[in-house]
């Protein structure tokens, strides 16, 4: 009996030893797995953005983009994130919403800027969305909800337009699961701290919008798709160090007011 | 790992054929059921129960074939469900996953070759004992 047990241990050990040795080989590089994944993500990102952009109006004026770009640059530079890979899109929509599409498309609605009281609140939302990008939540969510085979068929052109529309809707108007949202919040606070932006603005934004949101108001997408905003605001506040002094804001009050003024005028002039 | 030994009695032609079939059964099941590891086990199990009242030589080889299938089942099942979770859930392909699949391929191919060799040898009436599995078979299968 002892002999059999000894032989069983040897066989199992042999299997694990082979697995261990093989895992030391960089298969991901040999099979170019990351390269293939990146290509798929790029194709999906372009496809999704093209579809979303065809239905919404993108604001490209320097006046509006520049301040947001400054905030984005500050966060990326302070956190060693390649800013050139992030595609910032400002979309004219009253919906208070911001989301990311594959291949680092960051979409911010004008409604969100107008709902924010200062640049720190917008910085909080941008940090949260960048965290989703950096933590690869976008592709994880897509693979989980849509399925890898459907995603691949979309990139090869054999997927239906309805499937593509459903995938864009999924990313723009539904939340990530609770754990992923919390993970992104914690990462966002870290990004904000490193960027010398007070994370308390982010918590304030969540608290204020969740307080304001009465039943039936349809414009509060970012809050309604990010449940438990009060709870999130609480743990974000808990992560803030009250004794830390934060320097001047990334953009001046004047620039912030000009941005809001510009977007308000655009909103009013919209037919 | 595999050795040809003298059985306690010389098996007859009919016995040799049946014993050889137990390995062929697991081979066919292996080919048909590659994506579903449980299929292999069921096929061998059915053959085992069909021959448990057979002669000692037949029972012995059916048991050895069944035990070898049983031992690879958990490893193949783990690999199968890992693959399913990559396709249908948020799991991603990792270095560990690829290494595990290669480990499975190596051990399954080794078992495949050993099974073919044993099926041919037992058909000729030669008693083939596998390292570890033969001792385990002796525990369960008495004359």
Measured between alpha carbons, how far is A53 from A105 in angstroms, rounded to an integer?
Answer: 11
DSSP code of A100? E
* pLDDT bucket at A220, cuts 50 / 70 / 90: low
How confident is the model at residue B37, as a pLDDT?
A: 66
How confident is the model at residue A216, as a pLDDT?
A: 42
**Rounded average pLDDT over B46-70:** 85
Least confident of A99-103, A152-156, A249-253: A152-156
What torsion do the CA atoms of B71, B73, B76, B82 make, to the nearest 10 degrees?
A: -120
DSSP code of A157? T
**Rounded average pLDDT over A210-230:** 59
The predicted-structure confidence for A199-214, as pLDDT tens digits, reads as follows 989 998 888 877 765 5
CB A234 within 8 A of CB A202: no
**With contacts defined as CB-CB under 8 Å, which chain A residues touch B99?**
19, 22-23, 25, 27
**Rounded average pLDDT over A56-70:** 90
DSSP code of A245? -
In this structure, what are the phi and psi dihedrals at residue A199, rounded to the nearest 5 degrees?
A: -65, -15
Please indicate if any CB of chain B lies within 8 Å of the CB of A38. Answer: no
Please indicate if any CB of chain B lies within 8 Å of the CB of A26. Answer: yes
Residue A8 lies in a domain: no
Residue A3 lies in a domain: no
* pLDDT bucket at A215, cuts 50 / 70 / 90: very low
CB A131 within 8 A of CB A182: no
Contact check, Cβ <8 Å, B135/A3: yes
* Closest-approach residue (CA) in chain A for B96: A23
CB A227 within 8 A of CB A175: yes
Residue reference for tokens 């040898």: B121
How confident is the model at residue A213, as a pLDDT?
A: 56
User: Is residue A182 predicted with pLDDT exceeding 90?
Assistant: no
How confident is the model at residue A222, as a pLDDT?
A: 60
Contact check, Cβ <8 Å, A27/B95: yes
Q: Choose among A51, A55, A57, A105: nearest CA to A263.
A: A57
- Identity of the residue in A15, A140, A147 whose CB atom sits nearest the CB atom of B103: A15
* pLDDT bucket at A19, cuts 50 / 70 / 90: very high
* pLDDT bucket at A67, cuts 50 / 70 / 90: very high
Residue-averaged pLDDT of chain A = 84
Residue A248 lies in a domain: yes
Q: Choose among A216, A195, A190: nearest CA to A135.
A: A190
Give the angle A19-A22-A26 at the CA atoms, nearest 5°: 135
CB A226 within 8 A of CB A181: yes
How confident is the model at residue B96, as a pLDDT?
A: 93
The alpha-carbon gap from B141 to the nearest alpha carbon of chain A, in Å, equals: 14
**With contacts defined as CB-CB under 8 Å, which chain B residues touch A4?**
132, 135-136, 139
Q: In sequence order, which residues have a C-beta less than 8 Å from that of residue A42 and are 6 or more positions away?
A: A102, A103
- Counting Cβ atoms within 10 Å, is residue A131 exposed (0-12), middle (13-18) or buried (19+)? buried
How confident is the model at residue A253, as a pLDDT?
A: 87
Please indicate if any CB of chain B lies within 8 Å of the CB of A3. Answer: yes
Residue A25 lies in a domain: no
Q: State the total domains in chain A.
A: 1
Measured between alpha carbons, how far is A4 from A250 in angstroms, rounded to an integer?
Answer: 70
Domain regions of chain B by residue span:
6-140
**Rounded average pLDDT over A121-136:** 93
Residue A18 lies in a domain: no
* pLDDT bucket at B90, cuts 50 / 70 / 90: low
**Rounded average pLDDT over B103-127:** 89
How confident is the model at residue A20, as a pLDDT?
A: 95
User: Is residue A243 predicted with pLDDT exceeding 80?
Assistant: no
User: Is residue A268 predicted with pLDDT exceeding 90?
Assistant: no
Measured between alpha carbons, how far is A215 from A3 in angstroms, rounded to an integer?
Answer: 72
How confident is the model at residue A133, as a pLDDT?
A: 92
Least confident of A26-35, A63-72, A223-232: A223-232
* pLDDT bucket at A217, cuts 50 / 70 / 90: very low
Residue A69 lies in a domain: yes
Residue reference for tokens 């997927």: A159
Residue A117 lies in a domain: yes
User: Is residue A221 predicted with pLDDT exceeding 60?
Assistant: no
**Rounded average pLDDT over A126-134:** 94
**Rounded average pLDDT over A30-49:** 82
**With contacts defined as CB-CB under 8 Å, which chain B residues touch A136?**
92
Helices (H), A87-240: 110-115, 119-134, 137-145, 148-155, 161-173, 178-194, 200-212, 221-224, 229-239
How confident is the model at residue A226, as a pLDDT?
A: 59
User: Is residue B32 predicted with pLDDT exceeding 90?
Assistant: no
CB B29 within 8 A of CB B39: yes
**Rounded average pLDDT over A146-150:** 72
* pLDDT bucket at A218, cuts 50 / 70 / 90: very low
The tokens describing A183, both together, are 């993970």
CB A162 within 8 A of CB A39: no
User: Is residue A229 predicted with pLDDT exceeding 90?
Assistant: no
Residue A158 lies in a domain: yes
Percent of chain B at pLDDT exceeding 70 = 93
User: Is residue A224 predicted with pLDDT exceeding 70?
Assistant: no
How confident is the model at residue A212, as a pLDDT?
A: 65
Percent of chain A at pLDDT exceeding 70 = 91
User: Is residue B34 predicted with pLDDT exceeding 70?
Assistant: no
Q: Choose among A65, A183, A58, A67: nearest CA to A133.
A: A183
Chain length of chain B: 143
CB B25 within 8 A of CB B44: yes
Q: Give chain B's radius of gyration (CA, Å).
A: 17
Q: Which domain holds residue A147?
A: 32-269
């Amino acid at each position: 009996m002892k002999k059999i047990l000894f032989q069983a241990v040897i066989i199992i050990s042999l299997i694990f030893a082979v697995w261990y040795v093989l895992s030391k080989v960089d298969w991901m590089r040999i099979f170019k797995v990351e390269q293939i994944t990146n290509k798929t993500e790029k194709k999906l990102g372009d496809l999704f953005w093209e579809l979303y952009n065809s239905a919404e109006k993108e604001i490209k004026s320097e006046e509006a983009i520049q301040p947001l770009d400054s905030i984005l640059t500050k966060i990326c530079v302070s956190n060693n994130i390649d800013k050139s890979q992030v595609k910032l899109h400002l979309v004219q929509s009253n919906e208070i919403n911001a989301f990311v599409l594959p291949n680092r498309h960051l979409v911010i609605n004008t409604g969100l800027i107008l709902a924010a009281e200062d640049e720190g609140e917008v910085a909080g939302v941008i940090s949260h969305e960048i965290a989703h990008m950096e933590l690869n939540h976008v592709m994880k969510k897509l693979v989980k909800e849509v399925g890898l085979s459907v995603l691949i068929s979309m990139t090869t052109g054999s997927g239906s337009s309805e499937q593509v529309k459903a995938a864009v809707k999924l990313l723009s108007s539904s939340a990530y699961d609770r754990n992923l949202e919390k993970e992104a919040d914690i990462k966002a606070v870290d990004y904000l701290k490193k960027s010398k932006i007070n994370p308390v603005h982010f918590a304030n934004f969540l608290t204020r919008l969740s307080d304001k949101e009465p039943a039936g108001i349809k414009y509060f997408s970012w809050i309604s798709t990010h449940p438990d905003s009060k709870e999130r605001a609480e743990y974000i506040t808990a992560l803030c160090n009250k004794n830390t002094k934060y320097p001047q804001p990334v953009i001046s009050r004047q620039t912030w007011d000009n941005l809001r003024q510009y977007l308000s005028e655009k909103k009013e002039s919209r037919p | 790992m595999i050795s040809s030994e003298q059985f306690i009695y010389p098996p007859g032609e009919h016995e040799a054929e049946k014993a050889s079939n137990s390995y062929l059964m697991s081979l066919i099941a292996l080919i048909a059921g590659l994506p579903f590891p449980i299929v292999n086990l069921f096929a061998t199990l059915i053959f085992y129960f069909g021959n448990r009242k057979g002669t000692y030589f037949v029972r012995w080889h059916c048991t050895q074939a069944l035990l070898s299938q049983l031992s690879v089942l958990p490893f193949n099942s783990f690999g199968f469900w890992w693959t399913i979770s990559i396709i249908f859930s948020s799991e991603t392909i990792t270095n560990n996953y690829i290494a595990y699949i290669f480990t499975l391929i190596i051990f399954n191919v080794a078992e495949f070759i050993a099974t073919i060799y044993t099926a041919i040898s037992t058909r000729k009436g030669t008693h083939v004992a596998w390292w570890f599995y033969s001792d385990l078979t002796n525990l369960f299968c008495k004359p």
